[in-house]
Structure 1
Amino acid sequence: MAKITYVEHNGKEHIVEVASGLTVMEGARDNNIPGIEADCGGACACSTCHVYVDEAWIGKIPAKDDMEEDMLDFAYEPDPAKSRLTCQIKVTDELDGLRVKMPEKQI
């Protein structure tokens, strides 16, 4: 289990426990976190689960693969360093304390 903080674009925070083995997207979906739409259900076929990873966590999560990089081209205002698709981040105990911020909108 890891506590993950999801921060809406307006600054409202949601701190939830997410079971290891799920994705950060599934944690948002299962806890009704607004701002992560996840239209493709986690297949890395859209960009509607886009977030900005807190700078302190950028080097602590697995690197993006080519497919995620390609899908981020369709995200709203992607940041080359901080943007990630939450469907591609598997939760582990090491991610306890992870903070992600949602963009203004998902496209």
Structure 2
Amino acid sequence: MKKFCYLVLAMLPLTAFAYPIDVTKQLNGMSIDYDATDTDSDIASIQVNNYGTVDATCKVVFTNGPEAPRTRKIEVPAGKHSFATAKFTRTIIKMRINLTCSPK
């Protein structure tokens, strides 16, 4: 039983922990959907899907606590999707993403 407990404790660092992601959106009446993911411990990404008939211009602001926010501007054609990613120098504990989209 002791060997089993040691084995479990030894494997504990191999488990991956995901950080929470909060997304605040301002879509201005557009048919936009998103999927935010934790790519790595210091990289966050978001996929923005445009289901409307009008092209969209989106501004994505990634915020990770004390570090400076990372701003990305992406264009999402009608019926397509685009990605935005941000890399930070520290490990992400909680990611806050502000997504603002408007018609092009």
Q: State the TM-score bracket (shorter-chain normalisation).
A: 0.3 to 0.5
Higher RCO (CA-CA < 8 Å; seq separation 6+): 1
TM-score (norm 1): 0.36
Mark the structure with the bigger radius of gyration.
2
Higher helix share: 1
